[in-house]
Amino acid sequence: MILNKLVLLGTKYKRTLNFDKGLTIIRGDRTSGKSLVLSLIDYCLGKSESIKLKVQKELAQHCDRVFLEISIEDETFTLSRSLKQKQSKISIYFCKVDNINGYIPKSVEIKEAIQIIMGKLNINEYKRTKYKAHSTEQELETISFRDIFRYVYIKQHSLGTDNFLDNNVTFKKNKNPYAFEMIFNLVESDKDQLNEQLVNAKNRIETIKREKTGLISYLKDKEASDFDSLQSEEDMIQKEITKQKKQKEVILNEHKDGVNSENEMYIKLKDRLTEIANQIFIYEKQKKDLRMSIASKRFLLEEYEKEKSETDATMEINYHLVVEDHKIECPLCHSAVNSHIHQENQPTQKILNKIQRDIINKMKLVNNLIEKDLKDIEVINNKISSLNREQEILSSAIGEFTKKTSVPFLSQIESINSIINSYNKKKEIIDECIRIHRKIDEKNNLIDDLYAQIGRLERDLENLKVSEDRKKRIFDHLNDKYKSYMERLKYDTKNTYIDFYNYTPYHDGASVFEHESGGLLECMQISFLAAILSSKDRDYAKGHPGFLLLDSISKYLGTIRVDMDEEEKNNKNRINDPEVYEEIYKIFVELSKNHQLIIVDNTPPNSYKKYSKYTFLSGQEGLVNQYVNEFEYIEE
């Protein structure tokens, strides 16, 4: 998954943040909105909590929705979520954020949106059984993308603390080992659960197919089944609208110069209406001729059908009646002999077969000619329909000339406005049909995703037991990477490893949840996450989306800076070692060659400022910055 853009949108405000495919650093002052960028990304990707608008006052004042454009493999789509209303819904546009006006969004609950994202990432949800609180009864608990996302997005209050991976939240902590297994495809699935998911996926395909059939039927009723024709017609209408707008400018300019071309325009409209009426008359005559032709061909077809029926009857008789087998008595000797009377006049089976084939071929030819005539009538009907619509538009426009006005050119302007309005209405209908075509494409893609899910489930059913050898290979690689990163950050790697059973990083025999030094914890956490991300290059961590969001790297690392508050300066858990700080950024750059990283930091090392895409300042030049409002450049 690649994060392309984050768009903040309000009625009078718009700001787009573009992210690089490699390393993007967002730097700046405290309380300037740096961390809010990552929080909004998290929000679009299904975060359950809403954005605290009482705290984010500038965001609340100027923005209503947020959009996140992402790419998975070769497909790009946009997730949108309201900041103030219907926050439990996520709208999915199967297009780039710049093209959303041409698409109908799929508005779904957060849970379904997460399932769609997992389908795109080729990951199956996992359900485990657990005991209900204070009960001996069991229930199913779903491990989803949101659980995997804890290994992707580390908040500023989690990085360098024992709340890494939300360890202090019991129900999340208990799901972490299963999320790790999903990342590395180490889940030993239950056969009944897999079969249930398989049935649900197949039923979902049938539901989507029925929905698709309804949309196709709607387009057929609207005579809008051909997408290319719709786009061509939309382009033609847009050209007409542009042409009419230019004509309006010409009239206004002529009025300034004292020229009145009202009569000329009136004559043009009347002439065009005459042309349309004549053309419709010609088309109607062509239709009449074609209908007469069809009627005569159908009469001929009836004659052929009668002839064929008679031939079929003759063949039936000829098949049953064998003259040679009939016996007659000799009048002289009274002996029985074979009869050959009229045998030479009896039509043979071969001749009858040839006659029948000729009749069938003639019938096929006539049917083909009738079909061609019907198609020609359909083409003519479409042309007449188009001319009728143009006639209606021009008749409305010419009606403006009958209105009395004291301004000489006003009737021309009103006439052009009438034409433009009519074209705009027609364009809206076409645009709606185009959006439905795209909705059908979207459903086709969802069906493909479900078939891919079925394939994964069937493979899982074939291989229910996870190979211990494979798991050992994965952990050998993870441990090598984890130790190497810890060495680079100046730590002794004796008794440093990722536990084979609880999937937790350890240093000096203690886990990441047991150490107290914030600097050490941050180094362990970054080494652990970097080891997981780099393992995708070995095709191990298939369930990891392939990017990292890390907030406030310098919190426990770096050197004492002027902009620190007293609490930061006096923090005993801080490592004031610029070499370690630089080495972490070297690791980020190495990872960014194959993966995306978005890092929030107050003041990254100077040698890495080229990766600083955005710098936010406290006050008016933070994330919600009126100086970069994109609506300022949009014509009213």
What mean pLDDT is predicted for residues 382-392? 82
Higher-pLDDT residue of 401, 272: 272
* pLDDT score for 201: 82
Predicted confidence band of residue 466 (pLDDT cuts 50, 70, 90): low
pLDDT digits (tens, 9 = 90+) for 543-554: 999 999 999 888
**Cβ–Cβ under 8 Å, residues 545 and 152:** yes
* pLDDT score for 407: 45
Predicted confidence band of residue 98 (pLDDT cuts 50, 70, 90): very high
Residue 261 pLDDT more than 70? Answer: no
DSSP assignments along 25-87, one per residue: EEEE-TTSSHHHHHHHHHHHTT-SSPP-TTT-HHHHHH-SEEEEEEEETTEEEEEEEESSS-T
**Nearest Cα residue to 255 out of 266, 244, 247:** 247
**Cβ–Cβ under 8 Å, residues 144 and 124:** no
**Nearest Cα residue to 87 out of 70, 62, 67, 109:** 109
Token pair of 456 as six digits: 């994964």
* pLDDT score for 229: 83
CA distance 459 to 187: 13
Residue 192 pLDDT more than 90? Answer: no
* pLDDT score for 298: 85
Q: How far is CA 373 from CA 51, 298, 378, 387, 496, in A?
A: 64, 12, 9, 21, 82
**Nearest Cα residue to 39 out of 165, 156, 212:** 156
Alpha-carbon torsion (198, 204, 209, 210), positive or negative: positive
CA distance 27 to 611: 10
Token pair of 438 as six digits: 């795209």
Residue 560 pLDDT more than 80? Answer: no
pLDDT digits (tens, 9 = 90+) for 326-356: 555 565 565 665 555 444 444 566 787 888 8
Give the DSSP H or E segment for 341: none
Predicted confidence band of residue 484 (pLDDT cuts 50, 70, 90): very high
Higher-pLDDT residue of 571, 363: 363
Give the DSSP H or E segment for 274: helix 262-320
3-state secondary structure 418-440: HHHHHHHHHHHHHHHHHHHHHHH
* pLDDT score for 567: 55
Give 128's strand partners.
Answer: 141
* pLDDT score for 460: 72
* pLDDT score for 533: 96
Predicted confidence band of residue 426 (pLDDT cuts 50, 70, 90): confident
Lowest mean pLDDT among 295-299, 317-321, 361-365, 415-419: 317-321
Residue 158: alpha-carbon gap to chain centroid? 33
Lowest mean pLDDT among 58-67, 110-119, 329-338, 467-476: 329-338
Q: Which residue has the tokens 């999903």?
A: 182
Higher-pLDDT residue of 455, 21: 21
For residue 138, the SS3 value is strand
pLDDT digits (tens, 9 = 90+) for 443-465: 888 888 888 888 877 777 766 56
* pLDDT score for 634: 46
* pLDDT score for 424: 82
DSSP 8-state code for residue 142: E
* pLDDT score for 636: 39
Residue 323 pLDDT more than 60? Answer: no
Q: What rounded mean pLDDT belongs to the chain?
A: 83
Determine whether 262 is exposed, middle or buried from the number of CB atoms within 10 Å of its CB (0-12, 13-18, 19+).
Answer: middle
Predicted confidence band of residue 400 (pLDDT cuts 50, 70, 90): low
What mean pLDDT is predicted for residues 81-106? 91
pLDDT digits (tens, 9 = 90+) for 275-319: 888 888 888 888 888 888 888 888 888 888 888 888 888 777 766
Sheet holding 596-600, edge to edge: 153-154, 547-551, 596-600, 23-28, 612-616
Q: Which residue has the tokens 């919190």?
A: 555
CA distance 376 to 244: 32
Q: How far is CA 481 from CA 212, 512, 529, in A?
A: 48, 16, 10
* pLDDT score for 108: 92
* pLDDT score for 571: 56
Predicted confidence band of residue 478 (pLDDT cuts 50, 70, 90): very high
pLDDT digits (tens, 9 = 90+) for 500-528: 989 999 999 999 999 988 889 999 999 99
Higher-pLDDT residue of 582, 310: 582
What mean pLDDT is predicted for residues 163-174? 91
* pLDDT score for 30: 84
CA distance 418 to 405: 16
* pLDDT score for 37: 95
Higher-pLDDT residue of 46, 255: 46
Q: Long-range contacts for 420-424 (Cβ within 8 Å, ≥24 apart)?
A: 420/241, 420/244, 420/245, 422/392, 422/393, 422/396, 422/397, 423/237, 423/240, 423/241, 423/244, 423/393, 424/241
> Helix 191-221 to helix 410-462 angle, to the nearest 10 degrees?
160
Residue 2 pLDDT more than 80? Answer: yes
Residue 566 pLDDT more than 70? Answer: no
